[in-house]
C-alpha cells in the first residue's frame, strides 16, 4: 500500500528499507484492501503446535483457531466451540462445536479434529502441552459436533489454555498418521481461520488472503494480510513512519526508537494485548556443565547482574526486576514470602565464586562461558553484551554467540551445546500453562523448543508441580505455586532477570486493533483501514 504521508517524508527511507519494500509485489487489484504488517523475526513454521515462539503465532493465528478466545477479564468466550459444560465432579468438559465450519480445503471441521489435536498434538509435541494437558486422558466424540474431554483428575488450567495460540486445532485429515514435525502443512497451513495461506517467500513476506467462507459474518475486514520480513531494525521503524507498514507487534522496532515513535501523530505505541502472556526475561544454565552445576556459581552470577541497570540501559525502562519465575502481574499466584533473592552485590559474587573453587587466575579470569540469545531483536543481543561486561567484573569471561533462530533452537534444545541461554519466557495467564516447563523433569525433551533446556531435575520440584496440576482447591493450588517459586529460586537453574513490557506499534488509520489480554497473538480479523 502506498504511503499516505507527504513525499518529503518518504525520502528518508534508508536504502535497505527501500529494497525490502520493493521486494513485495502484491497479487491484488486496486479494489482490494491490503494490511501490511511486520513479523520479526521470520517464523520457522506456520503453526504453534510444536514450536510456540511468538513469530509463528503472530502469523498462524490468522489461519488456525482454538476452541475459545478470551475476553478482557481473561475469561473464555466462544470460537470453534460455541459453548461448554463442566461436570460436577470436574472430571469431564463437554464442548459443543460450531456447525458449518470448513477447513480452507473445503473439508468439514468436526469433533475428530479436536480429538486428534488434543491427544496427538497438545499432549505429545506441544512444548507446554505436556504439563497443561497432563490430566487429559481421552476425548470422546459422541457425534460430529461434540467433544468430551475425559480427565483423570480435575484440571483448573485447561480452560485458560485452549485459544488459537496455545491449542490450535489442526486438520486431522491432513495430519493423522504422519510425522507431525515434518508434515508439509507446517509451512503450507490449512486452517479454519479468517485468512487463508497464499504463499511464503522466504526472507521477504508471507501472504494471506480473506477466507470467503469464514464462519463469522463480515470478517475479516481486509482482503489481504501481508507479513513483511524486514531484517534491519531501523528499516522497520522507517516502514512504520512512512506508512509502508501499518502494524507491528512484539517490540519489533529498536527500543531507542520507542519514545520518538510515540510522539509521531500518525502512530500508536500500545502496551495492551500482552496481559495473558505475562513475560519475563531470563538466563538459563546448562547444568551438565560442571562449573554451572555448582549452585554457588549460579548464585554468584545472579548477584553480579544489576537488573535495574539492565532494564534502564538495554530496555529503555520497559520492565521491572523479577523476584522469581512468576510475574507480579499474576496476583493469584505470585509471592515473595520465603522466596530467595540475590541482590546486586559484586563482593558477594566474588566470595561465592572463591568458595565454589574457582579463584581468579593471573589474568584475573576464573573461567570462560558462552552465552546464546534468542535472536528476536537487538534487545537480547545488547543484553548479552551487558551480561558479558557484568560478569567480567567478577572474573568470568563470557563469549557472546550470534546465530539465526533455527540454529539457536537446534543448539539449545536439540544438541544442548550451550552454557547459558537468554531470552524471554511466557508463563501465560495461568503459570501452569507456560511457567513450569523450565523446571519440570517431564519437559526434558530433546528437539522440542521452549522446554527444559537446563535439564534441571529435582524430585521435590516435580512433586510440587504434580500437586498443583491436580489441585482443585484454589487456595491450596496457590500455596503450591508459592512453594514452586521458593524451590525455583533456591535451586536457581534459571535466573528470572526482569518482567518484560511488550509493545505494538501501529498506524492510527487502523480501527479494531485488539486490546484484549491475548490481542497481540490474536487474528487481525477485526481490523479495518481508514482512508
Q: Is 37 exposed, middle or buried (0-12, 13-18, 19+ CB in 10 A)?
A: buried
Q: For the chain, percent helix, then strand, then coil, each to nearest 5?
A: 30, 20, 50
Question: Which domains are seen in the chain, by residue range?
Answer: 7-63+193-274+503-529 (3.40.190.10), 68-175 (3.90.76.10), 276-500 (3.10.105.10)
Provide the CA 405 distance to its chain's centre, in angstroms: 14
DSSP reduced 3-state for 95? strand
> 3-class DSSP state for residue 408?
helix
169 DSSP 8-state letter: P
Query: DSSP strand E in 409-482: where?
Result: 420-425
198 within 8 A of 219, measured Cβ to Cβ: no
Q: Can you tell me the distance from the alpha carbon of 147 to that of 156, in angstroms, rounded to the nearest whole number?
A: 18
Count of CA atoms in the C-beta half-sphere (13 A) of 39: 28
Place of cell 533456591: 490
What are the pLDDT tens digits along the chain (531 aa)?
333 333 333 333 333 444 444 444 444 455 789 999 999 999 999 999 888 888 999 999 999 999 999 888 888 999 999 999 999 999 999 999 999 999 999 999 999 999 999 999 999 998 888 778 989 999 999 999 999 999 999 898 999 899 998 999 999 999 999 999 999 999 999 999 999 999 999 999 999 999 999 999 999 999 999 999 999 999 999 999 999 999 999 999 998 999 999 999 999 999 888 888 889 999 999 999 999 999 999 999 999 999 999 999 999 998 999 999 999 988 889 999 999 999 999 999 999 999 999 999 999 999 999 999 999 878 899 999 999 999 999 999 999 999 999 999 999 999 999 999 999 998 988 899 889 989 999 899 898 888 999 999 999 999 999 999 888 888 999 999 999 999 999 999 999 999 998 899 999 999 999 988 888 999 999 999 999
The CA distance from 269 to 373, in Å, is 26
- What residues pair up with 498 in beta bridges, in sequence order? 281, 321
Which cell goes with 150? 475425559
The pTM for the full model equals: 0.76
Asked whether the CA dihedral 249, 255, 260, 263 is positive or negative, the reply is positive
> DSSP letter string over 285-326?
E-TTSTTTTSHHHHHHHHHT--HHHHHHHHSTT-EEE-SSSS
Report the chain's terminal Cα–Cα distance, integer Å.
11
Amino acid at each position: 500500500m502506498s504511503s499516505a504521508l507527504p513525499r518529503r517524508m518518504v525520502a528518508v527511507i534508508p536504502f535497505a528499507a527501500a529494497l525490502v519494500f520493493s521486494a513485495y509485489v502484491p497479487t491484488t487489484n486496486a479494489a482490494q484492501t491490503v494490511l501490511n504488517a511486520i513479523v520479526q523475526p521470520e517464523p520457522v513454521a506456520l503453526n504453534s503446535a510444536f514450536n510456540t515462539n511468538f513469530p509463528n503465532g503472530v502469523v498462524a493465528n490468522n489461519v488456525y483457531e482454538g476452541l475459545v478466545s478470551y475476553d478482557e477479564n481473561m475469561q473464555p468466550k466462544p470460537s470453534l466451540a460455541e459453548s461448554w459444560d463442566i461436570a460436577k465432579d470436574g472430571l469431564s468438559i463437554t464442548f459443543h462445536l460450531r456447525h458449518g465450519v470448513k477447513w480452507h480445503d473445503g473439508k468439514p471441521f468436526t469433533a475428530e479434529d479436536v480429538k486428534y489435536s488434543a491427544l496427538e498434538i497438545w499432549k505429545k509435541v506441544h512444548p507446554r502441552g505436556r504439563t497443561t494437558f497432563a490430566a487429559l486422558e481421552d476425548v470422546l466424540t459422541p457425534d460430529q459436533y461434540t467433544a468430551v474431554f475425559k480427565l483423570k483428575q480435575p484440571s483448573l488450567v485447561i480452560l485458560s489454555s485452549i485459544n488459537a495460540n496455545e491449542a490450535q486445532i489442526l486438520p486431522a485429515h491432513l495430519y493423522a498418521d504422519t510425522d507431525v514435525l515434518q508434515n508439509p502443512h507446517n509451512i503450507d497451513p490449512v486452517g479454519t481461520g479468517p485468512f487463508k495461506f497464499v504463499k511464503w517467500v522466504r526472507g521477504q513476506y508471507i501472504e494471506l488472503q480473506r477466507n470467503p467462507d469464514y464462519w463469522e459474518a463480515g470478517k475479516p475486514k481486509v482482503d489481504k494480510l501481508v507479513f513483511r520480513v524486514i531484517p534491519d531494525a531501523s528499516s522497520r521503524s522507517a516502514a512504520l513512519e512512512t506508512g509502508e507498514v501499518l502494524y507491528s507487534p512484539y517490540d519489533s522496532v529498536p527500543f531507542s526508537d520507542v519514545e520518538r515513535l510515540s510522539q509521531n501523530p500518525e502512530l500508536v505505541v500500545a502496551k495492551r494485548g500482552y496481559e495473558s502472556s505475562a513475560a519475563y526475561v531470563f538466563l538459563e544454565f546448562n547444568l551438565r556443565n560442571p562449573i554451572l552445576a555448582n549452585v554457588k556459581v549460579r548464585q554468584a552470577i545472579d548477584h553480579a547482574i544489576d537488573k535495574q541497570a539492565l532494564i534502564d540501559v538495554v530496555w529503555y525502562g520497559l520492565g521491572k526486576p523479577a523476584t522469581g519465575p512468576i510475574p507480579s502481574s499474576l496476583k493469584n499466584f505470585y509471592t515473595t514470602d520465603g522466596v530467595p533473592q540475590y541482590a546486586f552485590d559484586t563482593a558477594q559474587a566474588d566470595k561465592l565464586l572463591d568458595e565454589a573453587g574457582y579463584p581468579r587466575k593471573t589474568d584475573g579470569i576464573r573461567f570462560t562461558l558462552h552465552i546464546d540469545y534468542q535472536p528476536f531483536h537487538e534487545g537480547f543481543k545488547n543484553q548479552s553484551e551487558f551480561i558479558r561486561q557484568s560478569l567480567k567484573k567478577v572474573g568470568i569471561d563470557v563469549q557472546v554467540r550470534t546465530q539465526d533462530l533455527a540454529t539457536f533452537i537446534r543448539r539449545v534444545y536439540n544438541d544442548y551445546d550451550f552454557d547459558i541461554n537468554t531470552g524471554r519466557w511466557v508463563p501465560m495467564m495461568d503459570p501452569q500453562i507456560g511457567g513450569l516447563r523450565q523446571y519440570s523433569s517431564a519437559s526434558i525433551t530433546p528437539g522440542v523448543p521452549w522446554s527444559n533446556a537446563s535439564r534441571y531435575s529435582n524430585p521435590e520440584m516435580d512433586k510440587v508441580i504434580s500437586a498443583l496440576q491436580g489441585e482443585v482447591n484454589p487456595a491450596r493450588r496457590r500455596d503450591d505455586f508459592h512453594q514452586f517459586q521458593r524451590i525455583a529460586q533456591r535451586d536457581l537453574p534459571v535466573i528470572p532477570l526482569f518482567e518484560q513490557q511488550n509493545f505494538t506499534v501501529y498506524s492510527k488509520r487502523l480501527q479494531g486493533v485488539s486490546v484484549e489480554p491475548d490481542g497481540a497473538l490474536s487474528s487481525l480479523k477485526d481490523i479495518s483501514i481508514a482512508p
